[in-house]
Structure 1
Amino acid sequence: MVTGFAPGDLVRARDREWVVLPFPRPDVIALRPLSGGENDKVVLDPRLETVPIEPARFDLPADAVVTVQAKAALLADAMRLTLRRGAGPFRSAAQLAFEPRTYQLVPLLMALRLSVPRLLIADDVGIGKTIEAGLILRELMDRGEVDSFSVLCPPHLVEQWVNELKERFGIDAVAVTSGSASRLERGLPLAQTLFSAYPFTVVSLDYIKAEKRREGFARACPDFVIVDEAHACVGTHQGRQQRFELLAGLVQNPDRRMILLTATPHSGDEEAFGRLLSLIDPSFASLNFDDARYRERLARHFVQRRRIDLVSGDWHEDRAFPKHETTEFPYRLSEIHRAFQESVLDYCFGVVSQAGPEKHARRLAFFGTLALMRCVGSSPAAALSALEKRVSNESNRLEPQIYDDDGDDEDAVDVEPGTTFDADPHLLALVETARKLRSEPDPKLSALINALTPLIKKGANPVIFCRYVATAEHVRDGLREAFPKLVVESVTGLLTPDERRDRVSDMIAADETQSNQRILVATDCLSEGINLQQLFDTVVHYDLSWNPTRHQQREGRVDRFGQPAELVRSIMMFSPDSAVDGAVLDVILRKAEEIRKATGVTVPLPEERGPVTDALMAAMMLRQGPADQLPLDFRQSALDLGDSVKVMEARWRDVAENEKKSRARFAQNIMKPQEVAPEWAKAETLLGSPQEARFFVERTMIRFGVPLEPRKAMLLAHVNALSPALRERLKEHELEGSVRLAVAEPAPSGSTLLTRAHPLTATLAEALVEASLDRNSLPELGVGRVGAWPTSAVQRPTRLVLLRLRFKLTIHARKEKLLLAEEAAIIGIQGNQIVAEGEVARCWLNTEATADLADIARDRFIAKARDDLPDLLTGPISDFVSLRAQDLMQDHNRLRSASGSASRVTVEPVLPPDVIGLFVMMPGEN
């Protein structure tokens, strides 16, 4: 190193002391002031300094301010909370704005045990795949193994990823989409790519998959990539083929780390599943599950947990998820609405019977019937919209809409399909009837209001999912009239993704001025992409989805990790008077529910949709009456389709069996809670738990004269009443006025979880440490670095030494890296022997003083301890720090012990350590 200094060294520059930080360039030096935080980092060129940068020591000054026990304990907590370069075993723990569940650490440990991490994380909807991938990313960044990354995801998930990385992991990434790319590239030098200029990116798959961009991205792609919704990159559709070609090119670099995320890794398509696994390792494409060695290798790269796996057995993670109560809500049609549905169905059957035996014409008639009946069953508004439209006779456009299959390049299609039938007097009469029905009372909407009324009284905040835009607007207007005091909004595919997100966010502001309850009416454009658990706790399926996984996706927006309500409700509405509702329940949803109860998994529709269509048509025909009572032209169609119901039942049995096999193959059993939990507990011990962070903030705000105000499940921090200097610091983190703090996860809407990484915690901790090190900083606090008092905690005179330890971590890998690790420690010394450390010593420091010592006695005890300090630093304290370095090295290497060729870590202590505080404890009365 040209500068002659290494990470962890102390130097003096520009009339103050600094800690040397890791930096990629050897000709400059990165520094953080001893009394500052990470945001105070500077980079200096020693050749440009008028006074040379010199080595320095951190000695306890002769005029250190004297303090009392309570403030000494506060300083110790602040010291621990200011450290961001965690010593271990998880270096990232200090950067997290949340408390991960134990099961969420499993993918992280799996990644650390691979020399080149490549994982397929296939956990259920709502378990926290984003968190699991973010944990891996944050840890590898803090270990110096990742300098840049890209998250590849569908366009509607880009902003969510940017927000999650910022709010949970403290990572500022830029969104790269068709709308932002040109702006980001503007002004860049010709030789610089977007991805070299912005090392942290979240990229829209649909933007980057185009051939002209794909090749450029492959050349500039970072060595760490996360792919969300990875199953959407392996199908036969042209868009999916382009995505697969993009990813297949990226994995050709054997050193590139890849984390693939999907809740539906295997939907019955073995070929697609093999292609997905090939992105981890080309040899996995064979799907040779009969080979024990194959299964063993795959288990190191594949993790799949269902909700049922985590709330039962060894994990017992009930507290991570709310209880889920599902109910059905049948409603009756009025005479006029039932007559309308039957007349539409009779008309459709007439078209079917006239289609003749020609397969294409018959299939088109089937699709037209199903599409129209979906709209009729949804609402009179949707029925009228469909009847008034004309579309081309293309079944490939109708089938995805009928079965709720999203296109690869767009969000869920929620605009009503038009009819494929030729206009005739009968069709025009149906249009007129639908138009009249719009002014009649709607029994379905009335049933919804009846279902919601008792829930609203209990404080529920429901999301109503509709299939079509016209229905959503119809329902929104009806609910606004029925519940005038509530905030009622709608979100449909007519809004852009940004507009949808803004409308949901705006409900919080409107909620604060009108009511503490809200109702959102949405189409399936919101069933993926925007998490709603902070605002809503109830899901109503106003329209049945014809794809079982869509119901799961809808409920997964609310029933997921981070839901503050203890109970989540879902309600499925249907009418026994409706032939289409009955057919869908019999052919699709009831069968899927049977499989879910047997396996704990919601399965998608079988890939082959022909039998599904036939079975639905047969079910609707037979619901009009027994086959021998049907009109002659219907009877043959019903008989022809009769076997299709049996075919569908066989398909469902195959799906159920495949799912059982899949669970047996991929159940994640290689790690148990007792292996994972102790590792995280070590990190909490070193850094402080969320409870300890809360205790610190409460005590510190009292010291500043602004105690926290309890508010139900939250605390209010009135930061506007703090000193101007602190207010200015907090304003930089957008903390102003009264800040709402959650004391437990999940955090209620409008609040943030109070953790060690929260800006309020970090700012207060840094301010207290600065006040102790610099007598000109917040002198009114009186936070000093020396003291003496009597206490019941000890039986013999004891010196407590508050230390800041620094270690040089060397990562021995393909490219050797030198990192800085820091740790706060308290040790208790009697005579020349360390008798307490860690939590025991911390407990002694927190034991309240039994009395005040006379100034002359106090000063004598402090002077004697100060005189003995040099010998202690070269003796027992030096030995203690060296042992900590050995323990730290073992912790780091143990986490990677299963990787074989993974990087090795060596740890060197920086001696002597920084003495932050020196306190003498004398035996006192109990």
Structure 2
Amino acid sequence: MNMPTHDFTIGNLVRARGREWIVQPDSKSDWLRLRPLGGSDDDIISLIPELEFQPVEPATFPWPDPEKPGNHAAALLLRDALRLKLRAGGGPFRSFGNIAVEPRAYQLVPLLMALRLTTVRLLIADDVGIGKTIEAGLIVRELIDRGEISRLAVLCPPHLVEQWQGELEQRFNLQTVVLTSASASRIEREVPHGVSLFDHYPYIVVSLDYIKSERHREYFLAIAPECVIVDEAHTCASSGQGKQLRFELLQRLAANEERHLLLLTATPHSGDESAFYNLLSLLKPEFATLQNRTSAGDPLRQELARHFVQRRRIDIDEWHDTRGFPKRMSTELTYELNGAWGQFFDDVQSYCRELAESAEQSANGNPRLVWYATLALLRCVASSPAAAAKALNTRLEGTLDSETCLTDSRLYDGQADDLSSNDLEPPAQLQDAARLQYLIAQAESLSGKTGDPKLALLIIHVKSLLKDGFNPVVFCRYIATAHYVAEHLRTQFPTVAVEAVTGEYTPAEREQRVQTMEDADRRVLVATDCLSEGINLQHLFTAVVHYDLAWNPTRHEQREGRVDRFGQQATEVRCTMLYGQDNPVDGFVLNVILRKADAIRKELGVLVPMPEDESCINQALIKTALMQRNERNLSLFDFVEPEEIIKPLEAKWHDAMEKTKANRTVFAQRRIKPEEVMPEWQKQQIALGSEADVKHFVQTACARLNAPLEPFKDNRFKLLPLHFPEALKLRLADDGIEKPLVIDFSQLHRSHPIVSLLAEHLLEEALLGEKPLAARCATTVTESVDMVTTLYLLRLRHQLSYVRRRQPYHLMAEETVTLAVRGRSQPEWLSEETAGALLECQPSGNLPLDIMQREIKTALEFIQLQPERIEALAQQRAEALLTDHRRVREAAKDIGQYNITPCLPVDIIGIYVLLPDAL
């Protein structure tokens, strides 16, 4: 069968299989990708014209039918549906229509850096809470929407996989699957035979634990996509067997010079020089040689600045764009180890000294296990009576050997490059002596605010926070302490939602327990450090209480960063440290570690992690743990000997601070001016619809579909899908929306399925339905005009062509424009701003149907005689968009060549006639 051939251009209309379609990018004369005229990207099909029974032919967009007029509200509904449905906007940021976040100016800096690189290799090392996930998401979404990548893998620690999956779906409209040791078999079974995993699932979040084994590692390397994000990248660059395997994996991924690689970390330099330069070598192998080159003017260091961005909070202040960042107010509260509690602490110390003396005198003694028991006991005693009793009740012998006991993670808080911690209480029972049973009974008898001065202080402080309107997160070191604290807070505050989240729950269960508190007016979360990474708490909580001091200052910053981070709505976040003023261990940690870290942070505006030195810290802590308790306060403790022990560590710490100071001046990227391109971003927001537009559209659409939103508390609304038309209900069900859904319009972005499916449903009805709810034509009487004025709602399609990495790309862009003409015999064409304002006019009267139809018909005949003006408008819009693209390109020093061509003829979506009110 001989079929006519057409070289169909991207963005043009064709007719095939009995309906109209828009030709999509990647189409060729012998193979077409088509989107239905009123459909979405999910409805795109591919076909081979030669195999079609009916020839694929050029088509034209249908004119509005004057016989089917609607009212002015229905006209606005169509305009809003059309605008909110657009995904491939015409502006220079292709991703705008697909993201559910309004980025700040400073968050565009990594994106602008990425646009100037042929292959994107970036180390994004911004502070905790500034928004590295958003910055990386903007880059990959932009690359996807420009057609430069089609597949993505995110490599991250296992406790972050669900968070990444949620962020990519909710903020960037990217549906991902999670590849972990538990899910891998199921996911692989779902992939059709002979199809690659990434061809079936283009966007995957991969747990770093999954690729530890050689088989999984080799499998991943064989199918790895063209773009990889590595979160907590510092955990892949340090020494140690597991980390070395991770680094080798990244080295092999980076060996493909065409692969885009985004490395994310808040702690790129933790004092380990080789680890830091290992990380840099993944961007370019030659960056590793910078370890021995210190000149600030070194060309290689200047080249590194194109690939490395690192900002602190003070740098963000310089953008004058700190919306979403509250003021952090820090304070300290102290309690005394007095009465029965003080006696218990002294008895435990005496017990530990006796164990030490016994071990030294006995040939069979094991000093290492004694030191372990000492640290374990005094840390648990400082935490809570519950943790102390658990430690005393758990036998140490047989659970640890003398060589490794002092590195047990239950004693410490993780290193700077690995903050995952075991929140189980360490064992401390060395013998079944009557003395031990006495200590256990003592601990159990002290439970509650009467016997426990630390708990009593917390209760007073939480009461004050709640009274001032704050919702706190109380961080504890051990599981037993968290449950103990939560139980007593529930008793003290029966009307407040109190929940405990610890490492005994899976990550999904932890998140669920947090989310159950969402509807409570007042809430207190008690958590171990399993929540100091992975789950963002800024939407529900506004204060942090360090119930137990962390021995690692980075842990404190991670805890506070869960609440004090991008997106926090409160203007102030309170952070409080509790400690025993006469507890020598608290005193050493506070004065020798935490306050020195805080002094560095105040000087640089960023925390410099404490270098690793387990032996040094262990010795100092053991010396301190057996120090006599001073009855007055911490400042009178003599820490001379412990401080002498950690001097080598302090020297490393000071060196890391100086290097960080030098790096920050180069890598804060102050030369890049994102404010220069914010106008283009804001233009696209206006063109594609703001938060207010989304709210107005959803409320209006639901009302006209006989499913009005029900008011809910806290300015939220409840959507009732049950009342929608059957076709819309089925489409919502496909997206998992079947039950009543609570909507917060401050969080509901235009890319949410609710918005896009409502828009698609109304547009399809307007184009194909007999009695559409959204009107393609209307005649309105209004006081806003003094002469007949006609508004034409146009959809412009443009073909965007550019060359990057010597490869041509052809994309389609769409935009909505309102054209207005005043009068008919001597028409006056009005500005686009005036046209948009007139479309928002208020009707002031009604008209007979025949007059409405007559006016629309006249307006239709008028515009059909103006093809040159419509084509000239399309060309002007294409030129204006090209100017916007060039401005962004120049700001980013982007590489490549751009061209924008309008697709003709222009679609006339709607015709709305405004008649002056004669009264």
TM-score (structure 1 length as normaliser): 0.89
- Is 2:800 the counterpart of 1:800? no
**Counterpart residue identity of residue 340, structure 1:** F
Match of residue 324 from structure 2: 320
Instruction: State the one-letter code of the partner of 1:304.
Output: Q
RMSD, aligned α-carbons: 3.4
Listed one character per residue, the Cα deviations across residues 157-202 of structure 1 (whole Å, up to 9, x for unaligned) are 1111111111111111111110111112226566544334322111
Deviation at 1:280, TM superposition (A): 0.9
1:826/1:838 contact within 8 Å kept: yes
Is 1:484 matched with 2:494?
yes
Q: Secondary structure at the match of 1:843?
A: helix
Equivalent AA in structure 1 for residue 232 of structure 2: E
Q: Distance in 2 between matches of 1:904 and 1:94?
A: 23
> Would you say 1:461 and 2:471 are equivalent positions?
yes
1:769 aligns with 2:763: yes
Cα deviation code 1:474-515 (max 9, x no counterpart): 22332333333444332222233333333334x24xx65xx5
| SS of residue paired to 2:229 | strand
Distance 1:791 1:436 in 2: 80
Q: Does structure 1 conserve the Cα–Cα contact (< 8 Å) formed by 2:157 and 2:207?
A: yes
| Deviation by residue 1:224-251 (Cα, 9 ceiling, x = unmatched) | 0000000100000111101000000011
Contact kept in structure 1, 2:114 and 2:122, CA below 8 Å? yes
Aligned pair in 2 of structure 1 residues 217, 430: CA closer, same or farther (>3 Å)?
same
Higher mean C-alpha displacement, 445-454 vs 395-404: 395-404
SS in 2 for 1:912: strand
Mapping 1:155-170, distance limit 5 Å: 155-170=158-173
- Displacement after TM superposition at 1:535 (Å): 3.0
* CA distance in 2 between partners of 1:330 and 1:820 (Å): 63
Deviation at 1:899, TM superposition (A): 7.2
CA drift of 1:422 comes to 7.2
Instruction: Judge which range, 894-903 or 601-610, deviates more.
Output: 894-903
1:380 aligns with 2:388: no
* Partners of 1:803 and 1:824 within 8 A in 2: yes
- Give 2:421's match in structure 1, choosing from 407, 412, 421: 412
For the residues of structure 2 that align with 1:340 and 1:98, how far apart are their CA atoms?
53
TM-score with structure 2 setting the length: 0.89
Letter in 1 for 2:686: T
Whichever residue aligns with residue 604 of structure 1, its letter is P
User: Residues 206 and 409 of structure 1 are in contact (CA less than 8 Å); yes or no, is this contact kept in structure 2?
Assistant: no
What is residue 389 of structure 1 aligned with on the other side? 395
Distance 1:877 1:126 in 2: 48
Asked if the contact 1:827/1:834 (under 8 Å) is kept, the reply is no
Structure-2 residue corresponding to 1:880:
873
Q: Structure 1 residues 233, 420: closer, same or farther in 2, change over 3 A?
A: farther
1:609 CA drift (Å): 4.0
Aligned-pair identity in percent equals 46
Please report how far the alpha carbon of residue 541 of structure 1 lies from its aligned counterpart in structure 2 after TM superposition: 1.2
Distance 1:361 1:606, change over 3 A: farther
Q: 2:634 maps to what in 1?
A: none
Q: Which moved more, 1:435-444 or 1:373-382?
A: 435-444
Matching residue of 2:511: 501
Deviation at 1:131, TM superposition (A): 1.3
1:241-256 to structure 2, matched below 5 A, reads: 241-256=244-259
Name the aligned partner's letter for residue 749 of structure 2.
T
Counterpart amino acid of residue 519 in structure 1: V
Deviation at 1:822, TM superposition (A): 1.2
How many angstroms apart in 1 are the aligned matches of 2:267 and 2:585?
28
1:840 is matched with 834
Equivalent-residue separation in structure 2 for 1:257 and 1:336 (angstroms): 62
Please state how far the C-alpha of 1:600 moved relative to its aligned partner.
2.0
1:57 alignment partner, SS class: coil
Deviation of 1:418 (Å): 2.6
Question: Partner residue of 2:349?
Answer: 345
1:786 paired with 2:767, answer: no
Q: Identify which of 134, 142, 154 aligns with 1:151.
A: 154
Match of 2:300 in 1: 294
Residue-by-residue CA offset, 1:522-576 (whole Å, 9 max, x unaligned): 2111211122223333322111101011011112222222234443222211111
Distance 1:190 1:772 in 2: 42
Structure 1: how far apart are the matches of 2:848 and 2:876? 38
CA contact (8 A) 2:310 2:667 kept: yes
User: Matches of 1:768 and 1:53 in 2, distance apart?
Assistant: 27
Residue in structure 2 matched with residue 452 of structure 1 by the alignment? 462
Match of residue 715 from structure 2: 714
- 1:12-61 Cα shifts (integer Å, max 9, x gaps): 12322121223578754332222233333333444553322221111315
- Checking the alignment, whether the CA contact within 8 Å between 1:134 and 1:165 is kept in structure 2 is yes
SS in 1 for 2:466: helix
- Secondary structure at 2:775's aligned position in 1? coil
In structure 1, the residue corresponding to 2:250 is in which secondary structure? helix
Instruction: Answer yes or no: is the 8 Å Cα contact 1:719–1:735 preserved in 2.
Output: no
Paired with 1:410 and 1:128, the residues of 2 have a C-alpha distance of 19
1:826 to 818, 830, 838: 818
In structure 1, C-alpha distance between the alignment counterparts of 2:431 and 2:608, rounded to whole Å: 37
1:901 and 1:866, CA in 2 relative to 1: closer, same or farther beyond 3 A? closer
| Distance change in 2, residues 1:104/1:911 (3 Å) | same
Which amino acid is 1:301 matched to?
H
In 2, the alpha carbon distance for the partners of 1:722 and 1:446 equals: 53
For 2:142 and 2:667, locate their aligned partners in 1 and report how far apart those are by CA, in whole Å.
Answer: 25
The DSSP-based 3-state class of the residue aligned with 1:58 is coil
Distance (Å, rounded) in 2 between the aligned partners of 1:207 and 1:259: 20
Q: Structure 2: where are the runs of 5+ without partners?
A: 632-636
In structure 2, C-alpha distance between the alignment counterparts of 1:721 and 1:351, rounded to whole Å: 70
* Post-superposition offset of 1:109: 1.7
1:62-77 to structure 2, matched below 5 A, reads 63-77=66-80
- Seen in structure 2, the aligned counterparts of structure 1 residues 595 and 442 have a Cα distance that, compared at 3 Å, is same
Aligned twin of 1:630: none
Distance 1:545 1:18, change over 3 A: same
CA distance, structure 2, for counterparts of residue 408 and residue 210 of structure 1: 21
Aligned to 2:748: 754
User: In the superposition, relative to structure 1, how do residues 649 and 241 fare at CA in structure 2: closer, same or farther (>3 Å)?
Assistant: closer
Match of 1:604 in 2: 609
After TM superposition, give the deviation of residue 638 of structure 1 in Å.
8.2
Corresponding position of 1:371: 376
- For the residue of structure 2 that corresponds to 1:127, the secondary structure is coil
User: What residue is the counterpart of 2:809 in the other structure?
Assistant: 817
One-letter amino acid of the structure 2 residue matched with residue 473 of structure 1: H
User: Structure 1's 705 and 428: CA in aligned 2 closer, same or farther, altered over 3 A?
Assistant: closer
Q: What's the counterpart of residue 697 of structure 2? A: 696
Report how many aligned residue pairs link the two structures: 897
Q: Choose 300-309 or 166-175, whichever is displaced more.
A: 300-309
The alignment partner of 1:327 has SS state of strand
2-structure distance, mates of 1:775, 1:230: 53
Q: Does 1:867 align with 2:861?
A: yes
Uncovered stretches (5+) of structure 1, i.e. residues with no partner: 627-634, 745-752
- Flag the 1:346–1:879 CA change in 2: closer, same or farther, 3 A: same
SS in structure 1 of the partner of residue 513 of structure 2? helix
Q: Determine helix, strand or coil for the equivalent of 2:256.
A: coil
